[in-house]
A and B are shown apart, each in its own frame.
Chain A
Amino acid sequence: MGKIRSAKIRNAKIADKIMTIVFYCIALLFLMLLLVLALYVVIKGFVDFKLEYLSFNRKGIGNQFFNTLYLVFLSLLISVPLGTLAGIYMSEYAKQGRITKFLRISIETLSSLPSIVVGLFGYLVFIVMTGARWNLMAGALAVSILSIPLITTTTVDAFKSLEVGYKNGSLGLGATHWQTIYHVMLPACFPRIMTGIILAAGRGFGEAAALLYTSGMSTDINWSNWNLSSATCALNPFRPGETLSLLIWASRSEAVSANATQIANLSSAVLMIMVFTFSIGARMLSRRINKKAKGC
């Protein structure tokens, strides 16, 4: 009896060791994958680098860089409030039942829609139906369709996983439901919602298909023109605006200039660094805000 038991324990311990090694290997594999990919893109991007590639005119990618940032900003302006409010509604106000379940499935489906379909939809609704030209706002709206579900689901999950004590504590002090949500629950959910926002922004940085027919494939910015209604003003959201990912696609598929490959490679590297910086920056900001709210 004792012998069998000690043999069993030994086997269990061996299995435990093997699995530990397996998990470490998987972690290492992904780390290497990311590292190799990132290094390849960055190194390749900066081979044959010329400073003029970064200029804010037709020769460089500066305008596309700005367009990308502006598009992400616009799309977050739309998707963050709508996404969080929808998430709060789903977790705090909607009665649990079939309709809510159906709503949740719909939202999840929305986030996995093929982006080219969203792009065509955006083209029909935001361009054809409004009779507008290709413009950044239409692109931002199309990207928002893809990113709102990300923010909504992370918000729902954040609220659901909150300790029930926070809510009861606040209500027990005579706070209303909304005061409780706004002053206690939302701040406590902030780090997790931030994760959703970062994911949503990532969608905006990387999206190409949804932008093909919405934000357009051209960009013409006159950096000394600050008249918001002018089509060449950088801050006019209703002007066409090619983003970096669109530029990569265009340079790789229908290249007209001789250094198209180089431009595409550099754009990839810059885009990657951008996403990386944004992600880290957002997390640092989130941590700081969180610390301030929670007390150190």
Chain B
Amino acid sequence: MDSKISISDLNLYYGSFQALKNINMDVKSNEITALIGPSGCGKSTFLKTLNRMNDLEENVKIDGSILLDGIDIYHEMDAILLRQKIGMVFQQPNPFPKSIYDNVAYGPRILGIRKKHDLDEIVENSLRKAVIWDEVKDRLNKSALSLSGGQQQRICIARTLAVNPDVILMDEPTSALDPISTSKIEDLAVELKKNYTIVIVTHNMQQATRISDKTVFFLLGETIESGETHEIFSRPKDKRTEDYITGRFG
């Protein structure tokens, strides 16, 4: 299988503080890659470099290269286009204060799709893919904020799917959710990897073992160990990885 995203010698600085140190990583197509590690070790920062959300912050300096299908996303691609190809689901469900329909139709509308018929189709397909269609099909005009946290998160996933990305980044998408909603999102992620490439940040070790194919362990801005998820969790090579996954620190 080919690399969807390949990262080489990536360094990121906030002012004089180096948040990411010499990251090298390949993300394979149609797999779920889990990023684990203690808080503040650079996982979310790393995730945000993949769709250039870090561009929005001042004082961020990045060197190294990130290739998406062989194209350098920092030098050969427009950030707007990139974010349509690499969608993002955030930690806190963040539907817009609009109706469910308008939330999902937002991305396509931004892309210039105006015809009601086309939008209807995209909205229905996206909601179906996010496995929330049956729950909301009768109240598409209701505010997305009236839904439960778990439903909101699936609306956000549907909203991301509506712009038809290749890659979906998930930044601790279940940390604000209850166990039942969490398992729905996990099932959804596994289902989605058939058609998408997923990179997920998680604090939940079980979650990583349940859904991911590859796992990368971050510590203080460095990748300590990466590989097949079952390998990492059953036979970690590095002492620090072992300490972390067995709960000795973190």
Are chains A and B native binding partners rather than an unrelated pairing? yes
Q: Is the CB of A293 within 8 A of B98?
A: yes
Interface residues of B in 33-86 (CB under 8 A from A): 51, 53, 56, 58, 80-84
Once bound together, how far apart are the Cα atoms of A296 and B102, in whole Å? 12
With contacts A166-B97, A173-B83 taken as known, whether A183 is within 8 angstroms of B163 at the C-beta atoms is no
- B110: interface (CB < 8 Å): yes
Main secondary structure on A side of the interface with B: helix
- A188: interface (CB < 8 Å): yes
- A77: interface (CB < 8 Å): no
Residues of chain B with a CB closer than 8 A to A295's CB:
98-102, 141-144, 146
- B159: interface (CB < 8 Å): yes
Once bound together, how far apart are the Cα atoms of A295 and B105, in whole Å? 14
- A163: interface (CB < 8 Å): yes
Interface residues of A in 254-296 (CB under 8 A from B): 293-296
- Choose from B51, B99, B100, B144 the contact partner of A172 (Cβ within 8 Å): B51
Once bound together, how far apart are the Cα atoms of A170 and B99, in whole Å? 15
Distance from A100 Cβ to chain B, minimum over Cβ atoms (Å): 13
Residues of chain A with a CB closer than 8 A to B106's CB:
170, 173, 175, 183-184
Q: Is the CB of A165 within 8 A of B80?
A: no
Return the CB mask of A153-196 against B: 1 if under 8 Å, else 0. 00000000001011011111111100100011001100000000
Chain A CB count within 10 A is highest, among B83, B96, B109, for B96
Stretch of B18-26, B87-95, B231-239, B241-249 on the interface side: B87-95
Interface residues of A in 17-37 (CB under 8 A from B): none
Residues of chain A with a CB closer than 8 A to B111's CB:
174
Once bound together, how far apart are the Cα atoms of A166 and B152, in whole Å? 13
Q: Is the CB of B159 within 8 A of A173?
A: yes
- B160: interface (CB < 8 Å): yes
- 17 A-B pairs besides A172-B53, A294-B98 with CB distance below 8 A are A95-B58, A165-B94, A166-B96, A168-B88, A168-B90, A168-B94, A171-B56, A172-B51, A172-B83, A172-B88, A173-B107, A173-B163, A184-B96, A187-B98, A294-B97, A295-B102, A296-B141
Distance from B137 Cβ to chain A, minimum over Cβ atoms (Å): 14
- B156: interface (CB < 8 Å): yes
Q: How large is the interface on B (under 10, 10 to 19, 20 to 34, 35 or more residues)?
A: 35 or more
Return the CB mask of B145-166 against A: 1 if under 8 Å, else 0. 1100000000010011001000
List the A residue with the shortest CB-CB distance to B58.
Answer: A95
Chain B interface residues (CB < 8 Å from chain A):
51, 53, 56, 58, 80-84, 87-88, 90, 92, 94-102, 106-107, 109-111, 141-146, 156, 159-160, 163
Residues of chain B with a CB closer than 8 A to A174's CB:
80-84, 107, 110-111, 163
Q: Is the CB of A172 within 8 A of B87?
A: yes
Once bound together, how far apart are the Cα atoms of A179 and B88, in whole Å? 18
What are 28 A-B pairs at a CB distance below 8 A? A95-B58, A165-B92, A165-B94, A166-B97, A169-B90, A171-B83, A172-B51, A172-B53, A172-B87, A172-B160, A173-B84, A173-B106, A173-B160, A174-B83, A174-B110, A174-B111, A174-B163, A175-B110, A183-B109, A184-B96, A188-B97, A293-B98, A294-B97, A294-B99, A294-B143, A295-B141, A295-B146, A296-B141
Once bound together, how far apart are the Cα atoms of A294 and B81, in whole Å? 28
List the B residue with the shortest CB-CB distance to A175.
Answer: B110
Once bound together, how far apart are the Cα atoms of A180 and B246, in whole Å? 43
Distance from A139 Cβ to chain B, minimum over Cβ atoms (Å): 37
With contacts A168-B90, A170-B106, A173-B160 taken as known, whether A294 is within 8 angstroms of B145 at the C-beta atoms is yes
Once bound together, how far apart are the Cα atoms of A95 and B58, in whole Å? 10
Distance from B157 Cβ to chain A, minimum over Cβ atoms (Å): 12
Once bound together, how far apart are the Cα atoms of A166 and B96, in whole Å? 6
Residues of chain B with a CB closer than 8 A to A165's CB:
90, 92, 94
Distance from B104 Cβ to chain A, minimum over Cβ atoms (Å): 11
Distance from A68 Cβ to chain B, minimum over Cβ atoms (Å): 35
Once bound together, how far apart are the Cα atoms of A203 and B87, in whole Å? 46
List the A residue with the shortest CB-CB distance to B156.
Answer: A169
Distance from A89 Cβ to chain B, minimum over Cβ atoms (Å): 17
Residues of chain A with a CB closer than 8 A to B51's CB:
172
Residues of chain B with a CB closer than 8 A to A183's CB:
106, 109-110
Once bound together, how far apart are the Cα atoms of A187 and B96, in whole Å? 10
List the A residue with the shortest CB-CB distance to B162.
Answer: A173
With contacts A174-B83, A184-B96 taken as known, whether A179 is within 8 angstroms of B90 at the C-beta atoms is no
Residues of chain B with a CB closer than 8 A to A172's CB:
51, 53, 83, 87-88, 90, 160
